[in-house]
Structure 1
């Protein structure tokens, strides 16, 4: 029933938007104009895939990158590779009206040279997420879609606030190191993860001037001596082998939250599941952070 309603709404909007066109400025600063809402979309970034689906556009996706796995319906779609090895031939053969991808993708110029319509969006901060939701909504359904994007954003704020209220006083102010990759890359204060940590009353050891997701010298973490470490399970086993890390307070006191692969996806994707990510981090602060 809901799918039928979306199809009807899309059909009603189509002639109006086709006449006026839709223009958005993407994250390159490039204005992109579509004659009509896209009916065939390829998404090459998991966070964009999830946002498209949250905004009612899942049925328009014809392919995704190999890492897009949520919601479950996108797992059956053709996969086009990743950031470094996107399959141009598959993408072109699908004849998409729009290709969504991030700034770090290496195929932007090639796709545009082949005449495909490309919109580049890569959220790294909360402000980015809000903007991307609005622009995706606009692309999918015009002004009404942009309003839907803002509605999703407001819902996320309520969910993050609710998660923050579950963090007890004794867990507030803990210094936290959040590792996003074993290089190691960290989530800094200015990233969407860092901003959520701040909302949860945690103190990020990686200051904003270092950027959203800086690559750190492991010695930096030793000197910062965090009280709590948040890390994906796949990297957790490497921590103890780094010089000096056994002396970090979080390691000595076994205050390490190890997130599963599924939880890692939720935490690392700036989009519709950020409220769920906040709950995971709040639970870590409660269950592990208050350990004495």
Structure 2
């Protein structure tokens, strides 16, 4: 697994946000970011630089993709994102490249970008909006905030509404079902999972699952094989780093005492559908909900 993918997977924290969008398209825009800071623009942004791949996806969902002039490596969705100028990586972007693009708004990632680099951008006079969401149900609020910043609220509000409706349908269908104890595996060496505050844990809860490492405070903690065996998950879900099911998922078959192994509940979800804080999280959630429902059906009767 590449250093970028592993570090990118591990990032994520709590977000609380408030939107205030005043007046017509050329009016001042005032939006509170996820750190509680107020970002003011004299008018909706026209030249936006994002400093994380998942922020690009959400901006496109908000109807503001055509306002993006710069982003970082691995910003690969939607297809149009691949043509946007790169300014480096999320954890090591090039300050001069950002400045050269003359953005009127920079959208940053709290737990991914280097704070000192963001401070330099602010010192140069660039408005910096800092994003950080921690639950799947925070996604529609972010869509609304991004669309407010870009003056595309009609599109963004509609997208947020669709997200909330789809989320509510999944919640109604799955969240009250008998719980499935779930181990989510990010990677093999080191063996890594997600703690209770990581956004994937909120997806597991949406599907009526229980993260067996919910009690861990770290977002992406390392655990031992012995700890997984002791937790005895009913389902093991892995992501890996691409479209293919990771070979190491089947390594669990050597531990026949684990319920997930006995019942063949070893599942895979493409990492981009569940490890990015974007509207596509609902696609990953639907897959996970179906997988946990499979685990329920495989329970012994009687």
- Asked if these proteins are the same fold (TM beyond 0.5), I'd say yes
TM-score under structure 1 length normalisation = 0.78
SS of alignment partner, residue 186 of structure 1: coil
SS in 2 for 1:14: coil
Which residue of the partner structure matches residue 55 of structure 2? 48
Distance 2:86 2:50 in 1: 10
Distance in 2, matches of 1:64 and 1:136, equals: 15
1:43 positional shift: 1.1
* TM superposition shift of 1:158: 2.6
- Change in Cα spacing, 1:268 to 1:24, as seen in structure 2 (3 Å) is same
Structure 1 residue 101 corresponds to structure 2 residue 108: yes
- Deviation of 1:203 after TM superposition, in Å, equals 2.1
Distance 2:35 2:272 in 1: 25
Choose from 200, 205, 208 the match for 1:193. Answer: 200
1:217 alignment counterpart:
223
Q: Secondary structure at the match of 2:143?
A: helix
Query: What does the per-residue CA deviation read over 1:180-204, in whole Å, with 9 as the maximum and x for residues that have no partner?
Result: 3444443344443222222222222
1:233-290: per-residue Cα shift (whole Å, max 9, x none)? 4494445769x9664332344321123xxx2101112222222122111232245664
Q: Structure 1 pair 248/81, CA: closer, same or farther in 2 (3 Å)? A: farther
Conserved? CA contact 2:62–2:155, under 8 Å: yes
Cα distance per residue 1:122-162 (max 9 Å; x no partner): 11123542432232122112xx72x7545433322332344
List per-residue Cα deviations over 1:7-62 (Å, max 9, x = no partner).
xxxxx9433x1xxx222222232222111111011111222211111111010001
Are 1:84 and 2:91 matched, yes or no? yes
**Structure 1 equivalent of residue 180 of structure 2:** 174
Larger mean CA deviation between 56-65 and 219-228 belongs to 219-228
More helix by share: 1
Distance in 2 (CA, whole Å) between partners of 1:66 and 1:228 is 33
Distance 1:195 1:108, change over 3 A: same
Q: Is the 8 A contact 1:124 1:212 kept in 2?
A: no
What aligned pairs does 1:12-91 form with structure 2 within 5 A after superposition? 13-15=24-26, 17=27, 21-91=28-98
CA contact (8 A) 1:98 1:119 kept: yes
Over the residues paired in the alignment, what is the CA RMSD in angstroms? 3.0
- Structure 2 unmatched runs, 5+: 1-22
Within 2, Cα distance between the matches of 1:79 and 1:268?
22
Alignment of 1:94-133 (within 5 A): 94-104=101-111, 105-106=113-114, 107-126=117-136, 128-133=138-143
Q: Is the Cα contact below 8 Å between 2:136 and 2:281 reproduced in 1?
A: no
Question: Do 2:139 and 2:279's aligned partners in 1 also have CA atoms closer than 8 Å?
Answer: no
What SS does the aligned partner of 1:175 have? Answer: strand
Q: TM-score, normalised by structure 2?
A: 0.76
Q: Distance in 2 between matches of 1:91 and 1:168?
A: 43
Q: 1:281 to 1:214 in 2, by over 3 A?
A: same
2-side partners of 1:252 and 1:73: how far apart?
A: 44
